Amino acid sequence: MSFRQLALCCLSLTSLAFAEVDMKPYPEAEEGMVRHALELEPKDREDDYRVELILGKTVETDGANRHFFGGVIDSHVVEGWGYTYHKLPKLGPLAGTLMLPAPGTPKVKKFVRIGGEPYLVRYNSKLPVVVYAPDGVEVRYRIWSAKGEGEPIPKG
């Protein structure tokens, strides 16, 4: 077997090994919680990307008000491994603006997220993004990217 064939074989095995997310280092989900894992695809310049974690529920709303859930996502480190995972200990109450809907406004089902600033985590395709959330909470994500070296701010 030539060096090139050996290298290709090793690359193939590496890809196969990575295709299955290794969850052994991460703790099992506690009772009433669900563990979610997102495997990210490798990208050039991964430092130019972030993953936004969006947690919430699909609920019936009045269609006129802006709604959000209370809740705080915490980051934790797996002891002995140094891997980060994220946890929403509990979903807070549903809150929203208090505008009076027009008479006859139909109820609508929509995804309502946790309020506050977006929760962004580092993009790292070598490790899964692991999130623990209460049973019934939806875990969604968005990929954010920045292009270029940035623009200078004028002096002044």
Picking from 74, 56, 77, 72, the residue whose alpha carbon sits closest to that of residue 127 is 77
Residues 93-128: tens digit of each pLDDT: 999 999 999 998 999 999 999 999 999 999 999 999
Q: From CA 144, how far away is CA 70, in angstroms rounded?
A: 24
Flag whether pLDDT at 7 surpasses 80.
no
- Of 13 and 88, the one with more pLDDT: 88
Flag whether pLDDT at 77 surpasses 70.
yes
17 backbone φψ class: left, alpha, beta (φ>0; ψ -120 to 50): alpha
Mean pLDDT of 72-81: 96
DSSP string for residues in the chain? --HHHHHHHHHHHHHHHHHS---TTSPPPPTTEEEEEEPPPP-TTGGGEEEEEEEEEEEEE-SSS-EEE----EEEE-TTT--EEEE------EEE--PPPPTTPPPEEEEEEBPSS-EEEE--TTS-EEEEEETT-EEEEEEEE--SS-PPPPP-
Flag whether pLDDT at 13 surpasses 50.
no
Res 150: pLDDT: 84
Residues 24-72: tens digit of each pLDDT: 999 999 999 999 999 999 999 999 999 999 999 999 999 899 999 999 9
